[in-house]
Amino acid sequence: KLLDAHADGINYYLYKHPAVKSEVIKKYKPWYHLMWTDGSVSPTRTGGVKREDVYKMYGAGQIEIPTSTTYSYPKMNAIDENGGSNGFAIAPKHSKNGNALLYINPHVPFYFRSEMHMVSEEGLNAYGAVTWGQMFIYQGFNAHLGWMHTSSYADVADIFEEKIIQKNDSLFYEYEQQLFPVQIKKIPIKYYGDNNGENINTKIFTTYRTHHGPIMGSRNGKWISLRENNRSLHALLECWTRTKAKNLTEYKKALSLLANNSNNTVYADANGNIAYWHGNFMPKRNPKYDYTRPVDGSIKETDWQGIHPLNEIVQSINPENGWLQNCNATPFTVAGKNSPDANNYPAYMAPDGENARGLNAVRLLSQIDKLDLNDLIKLGYNKHLT
């Protein structure tokens, strides 16, 4: 029903406004929305695959059967950047009027997000930002609660080194000392050619995949596959149901769909609760292996072991200090000295480093007594450089 209504609404608008000329899509279909439901600036996680890896595999025009080599790259210890999203939640103990406060400050390109109010005759009443024509409020509030997203560096994708073997004219990969056929698919890609873009050419790529996922590239003579969660119907359901949540329990029920693979959440509600969740979709891995590097794809031990339930994800609900912050950085400083303890979680859950905005947020929030909205805005625009 939602997908049909979304397509019908856009098509009806184009019908009623003939002066608006669609550049590419002349008629919208319900399934189009499922192509992208995440909403963040960078929803697809690459697990460490680099552009040069893809070029070696698919761009050079020749694919070589890999040889056995090793590869490693340094683990991220800090984030060196000066822009991004900042979210603050203030509990009633630090509020002048006794209500929780939520500060939503998503640093995104100017045309990336539109601010709007969505109301329906079935009772929907939500205000906030959408991303490029999505049917749901991506971050904002309804009459009962508000939610803010910061793009996350939570580790939600991994790359696997595959052992490829050629027998006659067929390709196989080794897994648990058995051979399985490599799945092969031809994908046509259209692109503008000569004549100032008037000609459209087509290039056909022969692609490969194992049970881990697509072969994304070649590095040091080895094929590397990617495991991630890029297309998910549950992501759309989660984004929609949270707009209708009335309390913390209902919001956690939406989060329990475990489908948001790129966002942290800062939360506050009319009952005075504040909360933070570091990511939402988090695969279970074997702690014996370092997933910041490519892992051996030929053994079962490195495979994902399901998904962590919501109560196992790094989080903080109603911390004693009465405030929460996240600025695209580590979850282990979200509530100052009352933050979650990194020792209680697998290392792969939150490899995020700290950044200057996070340090400054903790410094400023540690000094607060009672705030109103204007005080909170001033705090968000503090010009102190860490």
Q: What does the alpha-carbon distance between residue 196 and residue 218 come to, in Å, rounded to a whole number?
A: 34
Structure confidence at residue 148 (pLDDT)? 96
* DSSP line for 57-69: IIISS--PPP---
Phi, psi of 113 (to 5 degrees): -135, 140
Spatial neighbors of 162 by CB under 8 A, at least 6 apart, are 66, 173, 210, 212, 215, 222, 223, 224, 225, 297, 298
Helix and strand tally (H, E) in the chain? Answer: 6, 19
Q: What angle separates helix 233-242 from helix 248-255, to the nearest 10 degrees?
A: 170
* DSSP line for 196-218: TTT-EEEEEEEEEEETTEEEEEE
Q: What does the alpha-carbon distance between residue 240 and residue 232 come to, in Å, rounded to a whole number?
A: 13
Structure confidence at residue 66 (pLDDT)? 54
Structure confidence at residue 273 (pLDDT)? 98
Locate 187 and state its tokens: 């994908």
Strands (DSSP E) contained in 259-301 are 263-269, 274-277, 295-296
User: In this structure, what is the dihedral angle of CA atoms 337, 275, 236, 312, given to the nearest 10 degrees?
Assistant: 60
- Containing H/E element for 116? strand 113-119
Q: What does the alpha-carbon distance between residue 240 and residue 29 come to, in Å, rounded to a whole number?
A: 19
Greatest CA span in the chain, whole angstroms?
A: 76
Structure confidence at residue 303 (pLDDT)? 98
The pTM assigned to this predicted structure is: 0.88
Angle at 281 between CA 101 and CA 146, to 5 degrees: 15
**H helices present in 185-318, as ranges:** 233-242, 248-255
Locate 98 and state its tokens: 């006794």
Structure confidence at residue 126 (pLDDT)? 97
102 and 266 Cβ atoms separated by less than 8 Å? yes
Q: What does the alpha-carbon distance between residue 261 and residue 239 come to, in Å, rounded to a whole number?
A: 12
- Across the chain, which has 386 residues, the per-10-residue mean pLDDT values are 92 96 90 70 68 86 49 41 84 98 87 88 92 85 97 89 94 97 95 76 94 94 91 85 97 95 94 96 94 95 97 98 96 98 93 92 97 96 88
Phi, psi of 198 (to 5 degrees): -75, -30
Strand partners, 300: none
Burial class (CB in 10 A: 0-12, 13-18, 19+), 310: middle
